[in-house]
Amino acid sequence: MKKLYLVCTAFMLSLFAAGCSEEQVNHVELMYDHLEEAVQIEKAVEDKQGPLTEAENYELELYEQLRDISDLAELEEIAQTAIESAEERRSIMEEEKAIIETAYDEFQLSIEYLDEIEDEEVKAQGQAMIEVMENRFETYQELFSQYLLTIDLDIELYSMYYHEDTTIEDLQDQHDLVNEAYQVINDLNQQFNDHTNEFNESKRSFYEMAELNVVFE
């Protein structure tokens, strides 16, 4: 069974240095405050990646055991352990989603200042940056929903192993469903990371165009 390892590309952190042009500085700085606070909030997602990967690896080991054992009682015990791990992954993903949404809410606070920027080119770049973030957040919502669907499919697969009436064909069909679902997640994860990279570049361009003096890490 294929397993997914979510790899979320990190936001680029921008540190305000000193001095910038007098035009639009106030509004851009206000946007900067919310944009970079959103980055700081989302950094907490990194703490979820390790436990998530560990749970996925653990389940893969348990799944290999399920395929090698024939005793129903032993199968049920291993399957239940795998199910508990899958539910733990669900909890981790829900915690991650809460972080992503909190960061997105903070990001939204920056938008109200965009209309106050007089330079049309800077304003257009800011709008482009916002659109990228909107696409990124929408992709994350799809990724989250799809990941929870794969958890349900995994649990169903684990449960099938200790049911006497389960056939080899049933297991293979479910196995294929799981792999197809994880492929969708891999694709969405790549899209999410692409949006993150695009946002980082768009934000950099916005700051530079507004002549905001920042240092990028």
Segment 1-25 mean pLDDT: 51
| pTM confidence score | 0.89
What is the predicted pLDDT for the residue at 21? 45
Encode pLDDT of 131-156 as tens digits.
Answer: 999 999 999 999 999 999 999 999 99
The pLDDT value given to residue 85: 98
Report the C-alpha gap between 66 and 48 in whole angstroms. Answer: 27
Q: Is 22 helix (H, G, I), strand (E, B) or coil?
A: coil
pLDDT band at residue 215 under the 50/70/90 scheme: confident
Q: What is the mean pLDDT of the chain?
A: 90
Task: Note the pLDDT tens digit of each residue in 77-102.
Answer: 999 999 999 999 999 999 999 999 99
Q: Is 71 exposed, middle or buried (0-12, 13-18, 19+ CB in 10 A)?
A: exposed
Q: What is the mean pLDDT of residues 103-127?
A: 95
pLDDT recorded at residue 26: 83
pLDDT tens-digit readout, 169-182: 999 999 999 999 99
pLDDT of residue 214: 80
Contact 147, 93 (CB under 8 A): yes
Q: What is the pLDDT of residue 13?
A: 56
